[in-house]
Structures are given as C-alpha cells and as structure tokens.
Amino acid sequence: MKITILYGTETGNAEMLAEDIQAEFEAAHDVNCQNLSETSPDDLAPDRFYLLVCSTYGDGDLPASAQPFGAALTKAQPDLSQVHFAIFGLGDSEYDETFNHGPQKLATLMTACGAIQLGPRIAHDASGADLAEDLAMPWASAVIALAQTALGIPA
C-alpha cells in the first residue's frame, strides 16, 4: 500500500526513526518519508496511509518542524475525513507533567479535522528501557494491517 511517514522533530530523533521505519517496510510497500515542515494538510490524500512520528519539545509543545503544520490545522480546519493516520510519539518521562504532549496534541488536531486514527498512540519514553525502534516496528506492522482493511487494500 502507499504509505507516507511524516516526522516532526527538533533534534533529529523522530527523523532517524522515520527513516528506520521506511527501511523496514519499503520492500513490501510503496513508502516515502517527509518532514512535516515540508507538508501542508492539503497534501494529505485518501489513498495513502500516514504514519506520523513526532517528538515533544519546550513545555509539552510540538517540535519546531511540526509547528507550521499544527498551526495550519488549527487555522484552516481542513476536511481530513478521508485521511487515515497512526501516530508514534517520542518524549521523556523526566518531563512528567508534559510527557508526550506533542504527539498527543498533533493527534487531537488531526482528529478534530475529521482524520481517522488507527491503532494506539504509542508514547516512547527516552528515560525508559525500550528502544524506540523496538516499539515502532511492531506498532507499524499492526497499524499497516489495520489500514489495509480500512482502505480496502488486499494484504
């Protein structure tokens, strides 16, 4: 299926993870990878599945590369009711009051515009025991399977 991985990052961790996910799934799927800073909500298409990988910065904010996209969703309120996405968050529980708030905000902005979220929002913890890629690969595999059903694409 057609998959676009959209990453929102401040210091590159989400970009590295997005590239790792692309490498893992590109043999089986048509996968590309794009910074949210280069993405407009108007680009989102009904026949693609969007894997969002986004960190948290500042005081529970979207990272810099995701802020224009978040602002565009807030301002324009585009109709995303044909758009399917899943989201993987990066954060650090050292920031206990704002842990993973960036991806949580991004998911809320997407669904407020009607986008359809598939699967759970994973909240990776940089202070935890798991490597992000060890959580991300099974997550991506599961949500891609959900998307194939949702978009009516044979496995």
Ligand X SMILES: Cc1cc2nc3c(=O)[nH]c(=O)nc-3n(C[C@H](O)[C@H](O)[C@H](O)COP(=O)(O)O)c2cc1C
Is residue 9 a contact residue for ligand X (CB under 6 A)?
A: yes
Query: Distance between CA 138 and CA 133 in Å, rounded?
Result: 9
Query: Distance between CA 124 and CA 8 in Å, rounded?
Result: 14
Q: Which of residues 79-98 bind ligand X (CB under 6 A)?
A: 90-92, 95, 98
Nearer of residues 77 and 93 to ligand X, judged by Cβ: 93
Pick the binder of ligand X from 25, 49, 50, 57 (CB under 6 A). 57
What is the CB neighbour count within 10 angstroms for residue 13? 17
Pick the binder of ligand X from 126, 137, 151, 153 (CB under 6 A). 126
Q: With the C-alpha atoms ordered 89, 68, 151, 15, is the resulting torsion angle positive or negative?
A: negative
Q: Residue 152: which residues within 8 A CB-CB, separation 6 or more? A: none
Pick the binder of ligand X from 22, 39, 67, 100 (CB under 6 A). 100
The residues binding ligand X (CB under 6 A) are: 9-14, 55-60, 63, 90-92, 95, 98-101, 126
